[in-house]
A and B are shown apart, each in its own frame.
Chain A
């Protein structure tokens, strides 16, 4: 893709990213470990836990500590969103590969009895592929989806992170979401 079409990361954002407070990151890391413990211990049925829950939880804790200003938080969010997407998709791909390889999984007596929802779920691999296609056509739209879906950012936070107006984020999200959904129709 030509450079001109690439989504430009604001210079401000770039430099701010380097300044993400290290102690903040360490604290968040520690917090996330604790959150992970909670998640492992207490999965709720009827509530489909999402990665954004994890990120939100981290942010709530950051806010509790009277922590970062909006800027740092936005930069942190960008990193989290992007990493979250990559990790989740990598794992989905690995699992798919393992499944095809016939790797046997031990099922416990009661395993699997709660896969009960008739809700539609997203296929991570499909989403990732579609997002890659979207990024080729409009990188900013893809970025908005990544931030909102994988980092759980609000419109305001997304706007701050991308250095654009709220209005732009709303429009981008609406178009990108509708387009992505058409990609999953079949």
Chain B
């Protein structure tokens, strides 16, 4: 459609809109005369206009946000100071698409370090091209500018199936541009992450890339900036190398700092740069520098890591790359075999003379490896082995140091010499005699009438009580029940005995008021206020059954032991892997579990330990109907149990405002977590010996959520409240009573207020995300049986 016809259609459409519906047809007939297409177009527009005055929504934007973590970070960075302030000029420039003679630019398709890429039509050939306008050209000196143009002319001569052709280049208003083959695809980094590729696929793709680079080298052209972002991969898995020669523009010459700064910004990560480039040794940069980069890309594809540690300032990292031997890939991934390791290590040798001397050599070795033939790089192995001996010595040394440090830490923790004001450790302070008196005294106050309990039992733990009391209650009950205070199950999960007790559950008016004050009036205002309010009114709750609660949030390792392999967000294979580089995440809490996963985990673990299941999970319909059973197996805690366990007798710590410091010090929350999960059990346990009740990850409770549930108990004591009934039927609205499930404790991204013991949120049972994990509970009966079975077992030996 031409602009003229669109204009004509627009005005006819608007005129027709002014008329009553029954006159529109006649008006258009007359106005369009014999122009049937125009008549049809306007008629269709009018029909659309009558239908609605909105555009349809974008499908599942929310799901998109959930599934595509990259989207969030892009959204965020797009609104960052960088893109609006510092970049505002170039944004304004690009908003009105630039004009370049000979092309019609139709859309902006991307922005790389080197420039902005547009989709454009080249007039002379009518073909679609990728038009790259080079940024930062104004920082380059006249000399490097000239060199760049020469280089581009050379690069334009390259014709290879794995190199994006350069069709044309030039300058517009002093800004260099080039028109390239339009490759519909994603860059290597996205490709590697989005496809589930085996090693062979990666190697074979890299062999093609090496072919392309080898071809360019034979024609005298060095790429100089090979990195995943410069390799595009089509949907069929065919790689295209782009941006040959562009790095020329960045090479520093006499002219200096501005170039260096610009280069620093542009190159971003020196993760794929050769040592000689990192040294800034321009003359030493040759084809083997590209070989190094190819090797480092391969290293990264295989391990997800860089050849060198990239933390620290740019200069520190450059120095490291320039001077240190790369890490070995097997350091990250033990599954890489020795031949492949030798191949990679040869490619990324610190000294150019030890590397593959040409990209063709590297391609050949890759193919030999793929065919199971001997590779040339194996000579390298011997050298590596010598190296190995030396390294092992160093490693042994470091382990010794680590042990020494660990001993010191343990020592200082035990004696409270780390500067924090400690509550005295329970064990040291318990005087058995007084403790018995103490418990008996309490017992006298409350028994025998406490919810029908006999005087033969230890006193219930009635809040407020402190850590010492908590410990005494646990011990008294353990003795009474014939089970230990702490129990470890068959997969190493630890549980602590939570004694029966009574406490004030929920937030006081004052607390809830303060939480509501802190809620921003936004999209979720009503919902969040609803959650905050549902924590009240504060009311007495009695828990009459002792129970064991997990000392820790269920870890990734434990979850996998029971359910099987997962790809957790904060793990080396997860979307958040960049946040946990170099960390052993097996002891981090599992995240991304939906409520049903939690139920499933409980049941699987029960089955594993021959315990009767606590839940029946109907599989005949969606969502599955969950029924509570009497089984003694594992369960998610009810929120009453959770809150009682979290408080451990404490009634004051949650007053919002004044006393959050304790939460901040003892929990992984937004102020100290670096926006990720942490290994469980690193901070201080609470009075019952439970770790990370607040922060780290939100924890699923068994209960459904209903706004008014707790108000019914305002003037009575709730005894073992089970929460509202589940309602899987009405899943139209998340906020229907009984539909969503309760999460507790806040997470690593929460402010301290949301980690208060009384605060709760409600989440769809089918939603999970990387802030959300679980902790499970176990019945005393199950522990008793396990102990009995265990002691029989040991007595038999």
Using a CB–CB cutoff of 8 Å, the interface residues on chain A facing chain B are 1, 3, 5-7, 9, 14, 17-18, 20, 22, 25-26, 28-29, 31-33, 35-46, 48-51, 53-54, 56-58, 60-61, 64, 76, 78-80, 82-84, 86-88, 90-91, 94-95, 97-98, 100-104, 106, 108-110, 113-115, 119-122, 124, 127-128, 132-134, 136-138, 141, 145, 149, 171, 174-175, 177-182, 185
Contacts and interface: CB of A to CB of B under 8 A. Distances in A.
Q: Which 7 A-B pairs have the closest CB atoms?
A: A49-B62, A121-B59, A178-B45, A100-B235, A181-B48, A137-B6, A83-B78
A180 B45 CA distance: 9
A12 B733 CA distance: 46
Interface in B622-646: 622-624
B95 A50 contact: no
Given A84-B75, A132-B107, A48 B57 contact: yes
A103 B771 contact: no
A173 to B, nearest CB: 8
6 contacts: A25-B84, A43-B764, A98-B235, A113-B766, A138-B6, A138-B10
B81 interface: yes
A28 to B, nearest CB: 6
A94 B186 contact: yes
Contacts of A37: 749, 771
Contact of B65 (A33, A49, A86): A49
Contacts of B731: 45
Nearest to B523: A57
A15 to B, nearest CB: 10
B771 A25 contact: no
Contacts of A49: 60-62, 65
B6 A179 contact: yes
Given A91-B70, A110-B624, 4 more contacts: A29-B76, A46-B732, A108-B597, A179-B10
A177 B17 CA distance: 14
B56 A33 contact: no
A55 to B, nearest CB: 9
Nearest to B59: A121
Given A138-B3, A175-B13, A91 B763 contact: no
A3 B195 CA distance: 43
A131 to B, nearest CB: 9
B68 A91 contact: yes
Given A110-B766, A113-B622, A115-B60, A174 B49 contact: yes
Interface of B: 1-3, 6-7, 9-10, 13-14, 17, 41, 44-46, 48-49, 51, 53-66, 68, 70-72, 74-76, 78-81, 83-85, 88-89, 91-92, 95-96, 99, 104, 106-110, 184-186, 190-191, 194-196, 234-237, 520-524, 527, 567, 594, 596-597, 600, 622-624, 698, 731-735, 749, 761, 763-764, 766-772
Contacts of A171: 14
Nearest to B106: A132
B14 A174 contact: yes
A103 B56 contact: no
B96 A50 contact: no
B187 to A, nearest CB: 9
Nearest to A150: B58
Contact of A41 (B74, B81, B769): B769
Contacts of B195: 98, 101-104
Contacts of A100: 235
A57 B524 CA distance: 9
Contact of A137 (B2, B14, B59, B83): B2
Given A100-B235, A114-B766, A87 B2 contact: no
A17 B94 CA distance: 14
Given A9-B96, A82-B95, A97-B185, A61 B734 contact: no
A180 to B, nearest CB: 7
Contacts of B520: 31, 60-61, 64
Contacts of A31: 520
